[in-house]
Amino acid sequence: MDYGVHIGRFPRGKRNLISDVPGVKVGNCTLISDTSHVYRTGITAILPHEGCIYNERVVASSFVLNGYGKSTGLVQVEELGLIETPILITSTLNVGKVWDGLIAYVLGHVPDAKSINPVVMECNDGRVNEAEYRPLGEKEVFLAVEGASEDFSLGNVGAGTGMVTFGFKGGLGSASRIVDSYTVGALVVSNFGRKEDLLGVVEGRAEIGSIIVVLATDAPLTARQLKRIAKRGALGIAKAGGYATHGSGDIVLAFSTAHRIPRKAEAPIDIKVIPDDTKLFQKLLDASVEVVWEAIYDALLASEDMVGRDGKVWKAVDPDVILKKVRCI
């Protein structure tokens, strides 16, 4: 998707989405309703590949820039360096119900699973959404996961529905870069920053929020290397204007689709890895900064005005604000 933001030196993928990484798909379940409560919320699902992720895990790591967050599953990801479920992102107070729904989804495909590590990440959409009523559950999890596709919308959809960025309407963003024969893609749920961070104008009111970043690549990397990639994703947040404020949960998850690690392997597995001390690996690090930076701006540009709880109108950013910043880069 092209919103006129051209950052960095690497070419984009075909869609300029995280799904340019072969095999990766994204699904959204969006709830916008005023029937009983003001709901502006949803779930975003990232599938690393089309197979059974529980039995064919992918290598992963994470980096916590600021830990004011309630994501689940990252402890085991850090211990094993593997992801074994679809990655779900949702509203903070809905994490428990979405976690339970993801358990149900995995058990539906692997009935004999005795231990499951659901990765559920979150941002707080309570400024726009009546989040305290927690409307999302198993049904919405299945809709998000089973609706995953290479083509998906950005902005006011899925987990991005009720998000705010730099005081403007935020949401779901994504971008991709081609690095030699490999692809690096990012998906963000952008809900962070103060208006002054973007505009340079102090309004005397601090904003709260978070940002979740998911980085994907088909480059063959170890979990240790993916942590290095994830750290560069945090630099992309800073490049876009983030300061990792006290109440912001800024968390990056990175995975590689290059190898599928079988759950019940009984023999050594041969894998190839790009060495750290190569020009190619440095390019992958650089592209990880670019792709997150652009994905954040795309989340702003794809989002539209939204009336939220208490009738408050959250305005979309004027595209010229972003485009002028990009032209100065």
- Strand locations in 167-236 (E): 168-169, 172-179, 182-191, 209-217
Domain contains 1: no
Which pLDDT value is given to residue 8?
94
Domain contains 66: yes
The answer to whether 248 is a known catalytic residue is: yes
Strands 248-262 and 209-217: parallel
Domain contains 13: no
Domain contains 204: yes
Which pLDDT value is given to residue 264?
87
The domain spanning residue 43 has which CATH number?
A: 3.60.70.12
Domain contains 82: yes
Which string of b and e fits 5-20 if b means at least 16 CB within 10 Å? Answer: bebbebebbebbbbbb
Place of tokens 């290479």: 150
Which pLDDT value is given to residue 208?
66
Domain range enclosing 77: 18-261+273-327
Which pLDDT value is given to residue 263?
94
Which pLDDT value is given to residue 209?
81
> Which residue out of 125, 197, 250, 286 is catalytically annotated?
250
Domain contains 31: yes
With the C-alpha atoms ordered 92, 120, 97, 162, is the resulting torsion angle positive or negative? positive
Domain contains 207: yes
The answer to whether 210 is a known catalytic residue is: yes
Which pLDDT value is given to residue 302?
98
Domain contains 3: no
Number of domains in the chain: 1
> Which residue out of 61, 176, 210, 256 is catalytically annotated?
210
Under DSSP, the state recorded for 53 is T
Which pLDDT value is given to residue 64?
98
Largest CA distance in the chain: 61
Low-confidence ranges of the chain (pLDDT < 50): none
- Best CA proximity match to 189, nearest among 208, 202, 176, 174: 174
> Which residue out of 19, 91, 174, 248 is catalytically annotated?
248
Q: How many helices (H) and strands (E) would you count in the chain? A: 7, 14
Quote the CA–CA distance of 187 and 196 in Å, as a whole number.
24
